[in-house]
């Protein structure tokens, strides 16, 4: 599993990485691969799997909303969580996003959203026959 972070603010990237690592550590789960990008263009250029994407909307180049629409137009559709200071895109954002978090971020709320996202990404049960 890969979790991607895309924000043009390095401090936000660092904060999200710490929140994610903290979540997995507190739940005694190995943290998946974390990959960060500072632009929508670099996120879209990444050809590897994308399971969960934390994505800022207002960036200098390709904005997060356009990047999300392009990600969702492909065959593999990652879960997208918009992480932004603007509430302007809230309603429109739910057309492509799983959730919408407003900056400044609250770690408890972030962990709640991450937990819900992981329930959709990781199967909670399996069957087998012998």
Q: Is the pLDDT of residue 45 over 80?
A: yes
Q: Say if residues 52 and 3 touch (Cβ distance below 8 Å).
A: yes
Give Dmax over CA atoms of the chain in angstroms: 55
The predicted pLDDT at position 124 comes to 65
Q: Is the pLDDT of residue 44 over 70?
A: yes
Q: CA 10, 15, 19 angle in degrees (round to 5)?
A: 150
Q: Say if residues 52 and 32 touch (Cβ distance below 8 Å).
A: no
What band does 96 get if pLDDT is binned at 50, 70 and 90? confident
Q: Is the pLDDT of residue 128 over 70?
A: no
Q: Which of 85, 33, 36, 77 is nearest to 56 (CA)?
A: 85
Give residue-wise pLDDT tens across range 26-39. 999 999 999 999 99
Other beta carbons less than 10 A from residue 88's beta carbon = 11
């Amino acid at each position: 599993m890969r979790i991607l972070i895309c924000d043009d603010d390095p401090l936000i990237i660092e904060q999200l990485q710490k929140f994610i690592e903290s979540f997995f550590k507190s739940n005694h789960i190995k943290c998946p691969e974390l990959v960060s990008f500072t632009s929508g263009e670099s996120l879209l250029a990444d050809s590897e799997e994308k399971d969960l994407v934390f994505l800022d909307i207002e960036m200098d180049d390709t904005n997060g909303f356009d990047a999300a629409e392009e990600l969702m137009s492909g065959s593999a559709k990652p879960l997208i969580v918009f992480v932004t200071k603007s509430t302007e895109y809230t309603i429109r954002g739910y057309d492509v996003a799983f959730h919408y978090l407003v900056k400044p971020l609250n770690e408890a709320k972030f962990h709640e959203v991450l937990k819900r996202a992981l329930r959709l990404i990781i199967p909670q049960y399996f069957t087998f026959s012998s």
